[in-house]
Amino acid sequence: MVLIHRQNAIREFIDGEAHVKGFLLVYLGLTQGYILLPEYESSKGYADFYMMPDLVRQPDIVYSYIVEVKYARRDTSDADIALLKRDAAEQLRRYADDGKVARTKGNTRLGLITLVFKGWELVALEKLASRADCENESEA
């Protein structure tokens, strides 16, 4: 019985995460001004979504974004949600340091966004500043 429960829990996690990311892919794909790159490969790993600015069509765009999605089962504790948020922040900062992102974001400010879902419920939404943006603000 324990094995069945464990396999169902894994299946719920895989299916739930795929559904959430699929929905976000469609929704974010409707935005103007960005080229949406899901599972963007950088030298530092795979970002869930890189919203690369379409500088040809929108040369005055101000922001670009990397979005990291974390999914937790409905019975996940608040402590585990906090760990997911911390892991996402670490991943986002690594992705932001990638040379490909630096070359493709142009002069836009890079926003780093964490989304944590618990089942279908969005339980955390955080926007972090990239290291480069923090350094630029301290120089001003």
CA 46/CA 38 separation, integer angstroms: 9
CA distances in angstroms from 4 to 1, 9, 10, 11, 61, listed in the order given: 5, 9, 10, 10, 50
pLDDT for 43: 64
Q: What is the pTM of this model?
A: 0.78
pLDDT digits (tens, 9 = 90+) for 48-75: 899 999 999 999 999 999 999 999 988 9
Percent of the chain whose pLDDT exceeds 70: 79
Which pLDDT value is given to residue 82? 95
**pLDDT of 133:** 53
Please say if the pLDDT value at position 2 is more than 80: no
